[in-house]
Amino acid sequence: MMTPICKGRYRARLAETPEDLRAAQRLRWLCFHGRNGAPDDGAQLDADALDPECSHMLVEELETGRLVCTFRFLPLTDGSQIARSYSAQFYDLDALSRFDGPMVEMGRFCMDPATHDPDIVRIAWAAMTRFVEEGGIEMLFGCSSFTGCEPGVHAEAFAMLKDRHLAPRRWWPRVKAPRVFRFARALRRHTADPKQAMAAMPPLLRSYLAMGGWVSDHAVVDPVLRTMHVFTGVEIRAIPPARKRMLAALLDGAR
């Protein structure tokens, strides 16, 4: 069990009780469903069959105990277990089944929409770093979401992903979902404006890319959550040295 870490006004810890898990599922519902106007009776939860198999990270205010961020980890011994992942429901990940080291899927990342503090993201990444280090993880992966289902809104970001961040051929995620936007093909003649592209990039995906992360050549359209998401992978040994130092500093700065 990972020991809790603290930074500034916040603490990151793994869920330990059924009440902890319900709090995470409640925040997830507010972020993923409530923002779309779904009816709320005050007790709605976002839950699925993977929750019991995952470790759930909670970021709370130290003073009040209020949950401000949550995400979950699904550890896999190696790529032979990739079909168990949430991502495998939407992407053909057969190529990654040959990955021969420990992996972890990070998913359901969300932050309280009423709270805007960069320290929350910093302690979340410090907690992720601790989890990866303690587990000897060699690949971190998941789905990174864009809000909305209209490709044109995200054209600059998708064009930059096509230009600079597509997956290595040996790990190439292939199409599986019934509704996708093949941005690498559709935008093959579109050259991204770097400034606009980075401004439009979701913060979580921006962090993945800074670590040397790569993405699928298509986005899956989720009409229920009203998002488009790309498969995202990071090989830990390929993280640039400067980024490794930054992550280590985040962890050192926590207590």
Q: How many CB atoms lie within 10 A of CB 164?
A: 13
| Amino acid sitting at position 194 | P
Give the CATH number of the domain where residue 73 resides.
3.40.630.30
Distance CA 213, CA 52 (A): 27
| Residue 3, pLDDT score | 87
Residue numbers of the chain with a pLDDT score lower than 70: 254-255
CB 146 within 8 A of CB 218: no
| Residue 244, pLDDT score | 87
The whole-model pTM stands at 0.93
Domain count within the chain: 1
Give the structural domain span for 141.
5-253
